[in-house]
Amino acid sequence: MRFIDWLDERLEIRKLIKVSLTDYKVPKNINFLWSFGMLLVLTFAILFISGLFLLMYYKPDAKLAFDSVNKTIIMDVSYGWLFRHVHAVAASIVFLLMFIHIGRGIYYGSYKSPREIVWITGYILFILFAATAFTGYLLPWGQMSYWAAQTITTLFEKIPFIGPQLVIWLRGDYAVSDPTLTRFFALHVTLLPVLIMIVMGIHLYSVRIVGSNNEDGKPIDKKKEGVPFWPVFMSKEFFVMSVFLLFFFYLVFFKFDFAMDRVNFEPANPLQTPTHIYPEWYFLAFYEVLRGFFFSQNLGLIAFALSMVMILFLPWLDKSPTVSGKNRPLFQIAFWIFVIDVLVLTILGKLPPTGLYAWVGFFAALVFFGFFISLPIIARIEKKQLEGDKK
Amino acid sequence: MSEKKVSRRDFLLYAIGGWAAVGAGATLYAMYKTWEPLPEVKAAGIVEFDLATVKPGEVKVIEWRKKPVFILHRTPEMKEDCTKRTIKTSSGEYTVVIGICTHLGCIPNWEPENNIWHCPCHGGKYNACGINIFGPPPKPLYIPPFKLEGTKIVLGEEGPEYKQMVSG
Amino acid sequence: MIKELKILFAIVVIVLIGYYGIEDLAHHEMYGNIPKPDFNYLDLQYDIKEKGNPQNGENLFKQNCLSCHSLKVKNLKAMMDENTAMHAFNVVPPDLSNRANIVEEHFLFNFIKNPQNATKNPKFAMPPQPQLTDKQITDIVSFLKTVAKKDIQGEEIIEDACTRCHNIKYQKIEAHTNPENLKKYLGKIPPDLSLKGKSRDKEYLVAFINNPQTVLPGTSMPRLGLTKESTEKVVNYLEHIADPHKEERNKIGMWVLIYMLIGVILTYSWKKKIWKSLK
């Protein structure tokens, strides 16, 4: 008996391959943007493996952390620098991939019924990745690590009644210090990656159930219009992956600065704030929403919290019967304004919030919410048009 | 499987497989290299010690590669014939051995009244040359690789005296 | 195909605008105003007017400088040992063997005349030397110039100019002066230099070494008057020790990119083959 038959008898391996790969049909009219899910899985794997090798030399102790990263790992361990660079660049790039993945979902209406669970699990993954990135950023214990953690945890202080106590509880001290480092470390290397893997599993499973959306947003007759995931779609996927990896390794070897800020090569100093502090680029848009309401701190905080959750409610904000944005001229306008707005917010997030920048920031923050408010209105207009056409 | 059956699609798939294997191999090599001892560990693998600081009849224990090394400055009362295990410098004759019992790895103690090393675990005994003279140890105590520089001994490097000792 | 390229183009444009905005534009806004270095030290007023006499300079050196400074190239020991000097001045006085080739000549002349003014540091440890005439200072400078080594390496310059106050932990170099004395002298312990070549860019380091007060007003670091060449050597050395794997990285990087390019070609041809058979 062949080994595959032996396995098949015990695990129904053939059926599994059939269901998940060869018989799993995806629409033919999907472009390379639909490969970004697999790219994200790939990048997560890269993060996991490179992180594992960093973990072997990293020391989660406020006295040792900085040197263990910058001396032991980067200078002494053979190829330690490679794993460090790969991890840092992948942690940054995973957000670029996620933003494109989400952007594609919004443009082609992939959040709409029946794909709400896909959308919700995707949103949870985004939050989990953000938490992982935030906890991981503290670990090198450089100036930027330290002050990012210090300022972001301070945000919780503004929560009514429990705020001040909550912040001390989060940090385990009156300021960010060794206990904060060790608990962030624990979350970063165990709980958060495990949660990511579980939610990722549900996310992929739910896509297998409801099927991929496509450019036209119309459900396909899988027997006639679908192509098998393996080998047809995977052949394209491999191509996209190798192009991505070419770009990724170019960044790792020759352009890693964007993911490893210079300031973070200064050891953390609780008594001296760097002249400029800013979050990593993927948090800048949300950070700018916070700063945009420069005249009121409380309003800024509420806006910040809202900006992080708004996207979760897309399936219920946009009830238009037309799925794909490709066939929705009004929605397209709103979408591109939104994309440009996020870009503007991101850039402003790193510029000093003074003078003109402050006002542009305020305006851009309003536009950010404007997009979500416009969705039900656009949907209503489109419904009326459709009814009009029928008559 | 005849050669004709290998269509272009298959050939390409094999090529991609081979290409991926090269990448995986390179990655595994980098992973393998990360487990090598760090430079500071390697540097600690070579220890210098001045034999002249050991008084006649005295045993000094130094650490070399996480193991104890016994350095005994022999006196004329120690009558054993140690010609093949002697390290001779201008300051005297020495026994330099790794202080780990060849039986089960315990650390023997020096008994100055008998001029022997006595292993506390199973009673093995070694004379002042480090040669097993009683009990379960199957072999004499090992001599670490060394190099002589005047009265200084460098542990971890193989000098001519060591090579001669090993071959003789 | 064309449509996919259009999508790719849109993404690339958005990413590039974002990258430019976040990296170049914002960094320029935040760190852009680094003053230009002046390696001629033109703000210092006294000029060297004549040629110095090295023989004379040697005698003058022995009479005036040797009380604190040694001169190893001539086997001259300072009268005060390092420890005594450290407790008197809170900093170890430097050996002057190679000084004159590290420090710009015009600066050195002004420095001997008035160290506090030249270094722009009112607390600078060396006292002014009013007993010396301009001619005598010129002689000392020319003497120091004749003994100084010509082709001096970045590492040696660092040893000479920086590590009396700065640690370079990752190179196992400790400051010659005790931390407590440094704290008394400068108000705080000067930062470690192990990673400065990474935490600061080249332009900043050059400008800062050239004239600390213009870059970081109020800093206790004195202006040391390094020549352009010495400054560049120092900065290159700092960059090298902060990023020792740069060459290896670039080399491996090229190979990895070539390897990935082969992958792109292979996967593309396979994809084309499979999708062709669909139609």
CA atoms within 13 A on the CB side of C8: 11
Asked whether residue A231 falls in the same domain as residue A375, the answer is: no
From CA C209, how far away is CA A64, in angstroms rounded? 29
Q: Inter-chain contact B16–A53, Cβ cutoff 8 Å? A: no
Q: Are strands B47-50 and B59-64 parallel, antiparallel or unpaired?
A: unpaired
Asked whether residue A249 falls in the same domain as residue A284, the answer is: no
Asked whether residue A212 falls in the same domain as residue A298, the answer is: no
CB-count burial class (<10 Å; 0-12, 13-18, 19+) for B89: middle
Query: Is C270 an interface residue toward A (CB < 8 Å)?
Result: yes
| Chosen domain end from A249, A277, A305 | A277
Asked whether residue A112 falls in the same domain as residue A239, the answer is: yes
From CA C105, how far away is CA C112, in angstroms rounded? 11
DSSP letter (8 states) at residue A7: H
Q: What is the mean pLDDT of residues C204-231?
A: 93
- Which residues are registered as beta bridge partners of B73? B94
Whether residue A5 lies inside any domain: the answer is no
- Which residues are registered as beta bridge partners of B69? B62, B98
From CA A199, how far away is CA A206, in angstroms rounded? 10
CB-count burial class (<10 Å; 0-12, 13-18, 19+) for C272: middle
- Fold classified for B44-167: Rieske Iron-sulfur Protein (2.102.10)
Whether residue A198 lies inside any domain: the answer is yes
Question: A242, A247, A287: best mutation site toward chain C, by most C Cβ within 10 Å?
Answer: A242
Q: What is the pLDDT of residue C59?
A: 92
Nearest CB to A78: which of B16, B34, B40? B34
Asked whether residue A77 falls in the same domain as residue A216, the answer is: yes
Q: What is the pLDDT of residue C252?
A: 97
Q: Which residues of C touch B26 (CB under 8 A)?
A: 259
Distances (CA, A) of A316 to A304, A313, A327, A358, A381: 21, 6, 19, 32, 16
From CA B168, how far away is CA B157, in angstroms rounded? 18
Nearest CA in chain B to C256: B23
- Which residues are registered as beta bridge partners of B59? B72
Q: Inter-chain contact B8–C273, Cβ cutoff 8 Å? A: yes
Q: Inter-chain contact B9–C269, Cβ cutoff 8 Å? A: no
Question: Does the structure show a pLDDT above 80 at A221?
Answer: no
Q: Tokens 């000093």 — which residue?
A: A352
Domain with A102 in it = 27-277
Distances (CA, A) of B81 to B118, B127, C241: 19, 10, 54
Token readout for A237 is: 């996927």
Asked whether residue A283 falls in the same domain as residue A369, the answer is: yes
| Chosen domain end from A234, A259, A277 | A277
pLDDT in tens, C28-82: 888 878 899 999 999 988 888 888 889 999 999 999 999 899 999 888 888 888 8
E strand residue ranges, chain B: 47-50, 59-64, 67-73, 87-89, 92-98, 109-111, 116-118, 125-126, 132-134, 146-149, 152-155
Asked whether residue A223 falls in the same domain as residue A213, the answer is: yes
Q: Inter-chain contact C270–A239, Cβ cutoff 8 Å? A: yes
User: How many CB atoms sit inside 10 A of residue C150's CB?
Assistant: 6
CA atoms within 13 A on the CB side of A24: 21
Asked whether residue A208 falls in the same domain as residue A338, the answer is: no
- Mean pLDDT for chain A overall: 93
Q: What is the pLDDT of residue B7?
A: 57
Question: Does the structure show a pLDDT above 90 at A287?
Answer: yes
Identity (one letter) of the amino acid at A220? I
The count of CB pairs under 8 A between chains A and B is 24
Asked whether residue A239 falls in the same domain as residue A302, the answer is: no
Q: Inter-chain contact C262–B19, Cβ cutoff 8 Å? A: yes
Question: Does the structure show a pLDDT above 50 at C169?
Answer: yes
Q: What is the pLDDT of residue A79?
A: 96
Do B114 and B129 form a contact (C-beta atoms < 8 A)?
A: no
Please give the full DSSP string across A342-367, using - where no structure is assigned.
HHHHHHHTTS---HHHHHHHHHHHHH
Q: Inter-chain contact C262–B13, Cβ cutoff 8 Å? A: no
Nearest CA in chain C to B19: C263
CATH number at residue A80: 1.20.810.10
pLDDT in tens, A79-124: 999 999 999 999 999 999 999 999 999 999 999 989 999 999 999 9
DSSP letter (8 states) at residue B36: S
C195/chain B closest Cα distance in angstroms: 19
Q: Inter-chain contact B30–A79, Cβ cutoff 8 Å? A: yes
- CA angle A202/A204/A206 to nearest 5° reads 65
Distances (CA, A) of A245 to A89, A370, C190, C264, C272: 12, 36, 43, 9, 19
Q: What is the mean pLDDT of residues C216-227?
A: 92
Q: What is the pLDDT of residue A93?
A: 97
| Chosen domain end from A277, A311, A331 | A277
Token readout for A79 is: 């190829």
Q: Inter-chain contact C18–A258, Cβ cutoff 8 Å? A: no
- Which residues are registered as beta bridge partners of B50? B152
**Domain spanning C39-242: CATH superfamily:** Cytochrome c-like domain (1.10.760.10)
Number of domains in chain A: 2
- Residues of chain B predicted below pLDDT 50: 1-6
Domain ranges within chain C, ordered by starting residue: 1-32, 39-242
Question: Does the structure show a pLDDT above 50 at A330?
Answer: yes
Q: Inter-chain contact A31–C7, Cβ cutoff 8 Å? A: yes
- Helix (H), strand (E), coil (C) string for chain C: CHHHHHHHHHHHHHHHHHHHHHHHHHHHHHHCCCCCCCCCCCCCCCCCCCCCCHHHHHHHHHHHCCCCCCEHHHCECCCCCHHHHHHHHCCCCCCCCCHHHHECHHHHHHHHHCHHHHHCCCCCCCCCCCCCCHHHHHHHHHHHHHHCCCCCCHHHHHHHHCCCCCCEHHHCECCCCCHHHHHHHHCCCCCCCCCHHHHCCHHHHHHHHHCHHHHCCCCCCCCCCECHHHHHHHHHHHHHHHCCCHHHHHHHHHHHHHHHHHHHHHHHHHHHHHHHHHC
From CA A21, how far away is CA A41, in angstroms rounded? 16
Q: Which of A45-54, B77-86, C153-162 has the lowest mean pLDDT?
A: B77-86
Q: What is the mean pLDDT of residues A24-45?
A: 92
Q: Inter-chain contact C266–B12, Cβ cutoff 8 Å? A: yes
Q: Which residues of A touch C201 (CB under 8 A)?
A: 262
Token readout for C168 is: 């370079």
Query: pLDDT-derived band of residue A254, with 50, 70 and 90 as boundaries?
Result: very high
Asked whether residue A165 falls in the same domain as residue A228, the answer is: yes
pLDDT in tens, A260-285: 999 999 999 999 999 889 999 999 99
What angle, 0 to 180 degrees and rounded to 10, lies between the N-to-C axes of helices A284-292 and A355-390? 100
From CA C4, how far away is CA A243, in angstroms rounded? 14
From CA C69, how far away is CA A112, in angstroms rounded? 80
pLDDT in tens, A142-167: 999 999 999 999 999 988 899 999 99
Domain ranges within chain B, ordered by starting residue: 1-36, 44-167
Starting at the earlier edge strand, list the strands of the sheet with B152-155: B47-50, B152-155, B146-149
Q: Which of A91-105, C91-105, C243-257 has the lowest mean pLDDT?
A: C91-105
A149/chain B closest Cα distance in angstroms: 30
- Residue A226 host element (H or E): strand A226-228
Buried b (16+ CB within 10 A) or exposed e, A128-156: bbbbbbbbbbbbbbbbbbbbbbbebbebb
Residue A188 annotated in ligand binding: yes
The count of CB pairs under 8 A between chains B and C is 24
Q: Which residues of A touch B31 (CB under 8 A)?
A: 53, 79
Q: What is the pLDDT of residue A350?
A: 92
Do C144 and C61 form a contact (C-beta atoms < 8 A)?
A: yes
Q: Which of residues 45-64 of A touch B (CB under 8 A)?
A: 53, 56-57
Nearest CB to A76: which of B16, B30, B38? B38
Q: Cα-atom radius of gyration of chain C, to the nearest Å?
A: 26
Name subunits touching A (3+ CB pairs < 8 A): B, C
Question: Does the structure show a pLDDT above 60 at A180?
Answer: yes
Handedness of CA A13, A17, A23, A24 (dihedral sign): positive
Asked whether residue A218 falls in the same domain as residue A308, the answer is: no
Q: What is the pLDDT of residue A142?
A: 96
Handedness of CA C118, C119, C120, C124 (dihedral sign): negative
Q: Which of residues 181-240 of C touch A (CB under 8 A)?
A: 191-192, 194-195, 198-201
C84/chain A closest Cα distance in angstroms: 33
